[in-house]
Amino acid sequence: MSSQPAPASLPGLQFNNSFTQLPAPFFRRVAPQGLKEPVLVSFNQPLADQLGLSFDSAEDQALFLQAMSGNATLPGSDPVAMKYTGHQFGYYNPDLGDGRGLLLGEIHDRQGKHWDLHLKGAGTTPFSRGGDGRAVLRSCIREYLCSEAMYGLGIPTTRALCIVGSQEPVYRETVETGATLLRVASTHIRFGHFEYFYYSRDEKNLKVLADYLIGQQFPHWQDNPDRYQLLLEEAVRRTARLIAHWQAVGFNHGVMNTDNMSILGETFDYGPFAFLDDFQSDYICNHSDYQGRYAFNQQPGIGFWNCQCLAQAMLPLVGEKAALAALEQYDEHFHGHLIGLFRAKLGFEKQLEGDALLVRDLLREMERNRVDYSIFFRQLGHIRSVQEPGGARDLFIDRAAFDGWAERYQRRLAAESATPAQRSERMNRHNPKYILRNYMAQTAIEKAQQGDFSEVNRLLHLLQKPFDEQPENDHYAALPPDWGKGMEISCSS
Ligand code: AMP
Ligand code: MG
């Protein structure tokens, strides 16, 4: 193993490794396998500030780079590969686990909030299943930018502190280069962690897992006899709300396997994701998803299916009645949250009965007219009246269809008390001007592969404020170029 003990610690990185205090089946200790000749591709300063990390001196920066490329293990860190399993494309796979990422340890930020630090691309582990344990620069950039974009959009997500690149060849469809991503998350516990203990019939550790999570994230439930039921209900509700967010913002995750579902309802494991360009309800971003299991319009149902897997895995803790009661909450939370998000997108403060129908008919026409999803909603905020529809109408081929809908919309707006200017201002806070279209990520990747990291950093800053007008960046808010529309993304990462 190339990793060596580090001579000094880094300010703010005081690890505690509560996960490694758990029983042996939860993890395997693994030393990272360092990348040769590491270079810092990008550093997420706002996240570092939030975590209370600053590495000002040259020594600190050098040590940080060594640690983030897997060449040094920081004092106090105790890297482990977590064991989990999960349902992949509907089928149970007992052999999963961290195959190319290591939980380095946990830290607390200035507010005392717990964060897991996970180094993706750190080499092989006992769960690598013949894989090389590496992550390529391309996939690290995609996860880094998209997780930050989600955070900027106010959608629960894991984040990432930095990307380190290297010249190490990594073999995918073509030869690429190895990189690491330091993922920062409230937890790395997935639905699949529960499934592992359930399917290994290890009820003792299933309980240990649930109690560990409750102690860390929901300490106020610790002495509650119904704590496991509360945990399951919370996971179901958070998942429902997360997927409502994805649907409202037009995000297709692409690989909603239960090992990619965070128990805390955060967007997790960014692979072949996409933000919709034209609104296409059955859009499939994942090139390998031949059946469309994870198509955009399947996400709400798959979210529920995944919650069923979780409820099944928690049956020994909660019993059938409580499991069913928790699952029953999914629909109400999903639909309730979704209509709330759409009302905000349309500039409605009141809740009126016909709102869901108005949304349904709008989406139907948008799909028929192949209207760009994000641009339309942003433009809609600028409509003054049916007579002055602005750019929103121009996005429709069938203008009469838009006019018909816009008249209903205007009648509905009459029930609101806000002025057009107030509504427009409010809608701009719910309809992003800037999203991470796949062609934008692709451009940043191609430059980075040539050693120019400027576009990665530009997009990072752009996407941290997706609702703000950034006139110097207006071209990023335009329709995608033809080559970049509706790109299908390979699963390889
Ligand atoms: P993912 O599709 O990235 O969610 O990964 C599914 C499973 O495959 C996880 O257990 C990963 O750790 C593992 N995995 C993915 N890529 C690699 C790789 N290059 N080497 C080893 N394991 C991998
Ligand atoms: Mg995964």
The tens digit of pLDDT for each residue in 228-251 reads: 999 999 999 999 999 999 999 999
Does the annotation count 98 as an active-site position? Answer: no
Q: Point out the ligand 1 atom lying closest to the alpha carbon of residue 84.
A: 10
Instruction: Give the number of whichever ligand sits closest to the CA of residue 124.
Output: 1
Nearest ligand by distance to the CA of 493: 1
CB distance 258 to ligand 1 below 6 Å: no
pLDDT (tens digit per residue) in 40-78: 999 999 999 999 998 889 999 999 999 999 999 998 999
94 lines ligand 1 (CB under 6 A): no
Q: Name the token pair of 202.
A: 């290890």
pLDDT, tens only, 282-337:
999 999 999 999 999 999 999 999 999 999 999 999 999 999 999 999 999 999 99
For CA atoms 239, 240, 245, 250, the dihedral sign is positive
Asked whether 132 lines ligand 1 (CB < 6 A), one says yes
Domain-located, residue 365: yes
Decide whether any atom of ligand 1 lies within 6 Å of the 390 Cβ.
no
User: Atom 12 of ligand 1 has which residue's CA nearest to it?
Assistant: 99
Residue 234 to residue 297: CA distance in whole angstroms = 24
What's the pLDDT score for residue 3?
Answer: 53
- Ligand 1 atom closest to the Cα of residue 271 is 3
Measured by CA distance, the residue closest to atom 11 of ligand 1 is 99
Using the predicted structure, report yes or no on whether residue 7 has a pLDDT greater than 60. no
Distance, CA of 206 to CA of 199 (rounded, Å): 10
* Three-state secondary-structure class, residue 116: strand
Is the shortest distance between the CB of 216 and ligand 1 below 6 Å? Answer: no
pLDDT reading at 119 higher than 60: yes
Give the pLDDT confidence of 386-443 residue by residue, as tens digits: 778 788 999 999 999 999 999 999 999 999 999 999 999 999 999 999 999 999 999 9
Given a contact cutoff of 8 angstroms between Cβ atoms, the answer to whether 329 and 240 are in contact is yes
Contact 425, 418 (CB under 8 A): no
Average pLDDT (103-131) is 96
Of ligand 1's listed atoms, the one at least distance from the Cα of 125 is 21
Residue 244 in contact with ligand 1 by CB distance below 6 A: no
Residue 443 lies in a domain: no
pLDDT over 80 at 489, yes or no = no
* Upper half-sphere CA count for residue 374 (Cβ side, 13 Å): 23
Average pLDDT over residues 355-364: 98
Last residue of a domain, one of 381, 410, 428: 428
- Residue 461 belongs to some domain of the structure: no
Q: Report how many domains make up the chain.
A: 2
Residue 261 contacts residue 238 (beta carbons within 8 Å): no
Give the model's pLDDT for residue 125.
98
Q: What is the pLDDT of residue 312?
A: 98
Q: Does 334 reside within a domain? A: no
In the reported structure, the alpha carbon of residue 132 is separated from the centroid of ligand 1 by a whole-number distance in angstroms of 9
pLDDT of residue 388: 81
User: Which of the following is catalytic: 78, 259, 277, 289?
Assistant: 259
pLDDT above 90 coverage of the chain, percent:
91
- 460 pLDDT band, cuts 50/70/90, is very high
Give the integer Cα–Cα distance in Å for 394 and 399.
7
For 171-190, what is each residue's pLDDT tens digit?
999 999 999 999 999 999 99
In whole angstroms, how far apart are CA 453 and each of 56, 234, 255, 271?
A: 21, 40, 28, 21
- Name which of 3-17, 129-143, 247-261, 469-483 the model is least confident about: 3-17
Q: Is 78 helix (H, G, I), strand (E, B) or coil?
A: coil
Atom number in ligand 1 closest to CA 98: 12
CA distance linking residue 315 with residue 303, whole number of Å: 18
Q: Which residue has tokens 């809608």?
A: 427
Residue with the two structure tokens 């339309």? 376
Mean pLDDT score of the chain: 95
Report if residue 208 sits inside a domain.
no
The residue whose C-alpha atom lies closest to atom 23 belonging to ligand 1 is 99
Q: Which ligand is nearest to the CA of 260?
A: 2
Taking the centre of ligand 2 as the mean of its atom positions, its distance from the CA of residue 99, in whole angstroms, is: 9
CA of 133 to the centre of ligand 1 (A): 8
Domain that holds residue 411: 348-428
Q: Is there an atom of ligand 1 within 6 Å of 86 CB?
A: no
Tokens at 355, concatenated: 């709102």
Residue 392 lies in a domain: yes
Q: 256 pLDDT band (50/70/90 cuts)?
A: very high
How many residues does the structure list for the chain?
Answer: 493
Q: Which of 251, 195, 223, 229 is nearest to 329 (CA)?
A: 229
Residue to substitute in 35, 103, 127 for testing ligand 1 pocket (most ligand atoms within 8 angstroms of CB): 127
Neighbours of ion ligand 2 (CB under 5 A): 260, 269
Query: How far apart are alpha carbons 199 and 195 in whole angstroms?
Result: 6
Ligand 1 pocket mutation, candidates 80, 129, 134, criterion most atoms within 8 A of CB: 129
Domain boundary among 140, 169, 190: 190
Say what the pLDDT of residue 8 is. Answer: 72
C-alpha R_g of the chain: 23
Confidence bin at 493 (pLDDT 50/70/90): confident
Tell me, what's the pLDDT at 6?
Answer: 46
Q: Would you say residue 70 lies in a domain?
A: yes
Atom 14 (ligand 1): residue with closest C-alpha? 99
SS3 annotation, 250-277:
CEECCCCCHHHCECCCCECCCCCCEECC
Task: Please tell me the distance between residue 311's alpha carbon and the centre of ligand 1 in angstroms.
Answer: 25
Residue 78 Cβ inside 6 Å of ligand 1? The answer reads: no
Angle at 295 between CA 290 and CA 301, to 5 degrees: 120
pLDDT of 13 reads: 87
d(CA 165, CA 37): 8
User: 381, 427 in Cβ contact below 8 A?
Assistant: yes
**Residue 200, number of CB atoms within 10 A of its CB:** 14
Ligand 1 and 271: CB distance under 6 A:
yes
Give pTM, 2 decimals.
0.96
Please work out whether the CB of residue 176 comes within 6 Å of at least one atom of ligand 1: no
At which of 121, 156, 190 does a domain end?
190
State in Å: Cα 207 to ligand 1 middle: 27
- Find, among 278, 325, 326, 274, the residue nearest to 299 by Cα: 274
Task: Please report whether residue 247 resides in a domain.
Answer: no
Ligand 1 pocket test, candidate residues 84, 100, 158, 294, most atoms within 8 A of CB: 100
Best of 27, 35, 128, 259 for a ligand 1 pocket test (most atoms within 8 Å of beta carbon): 128
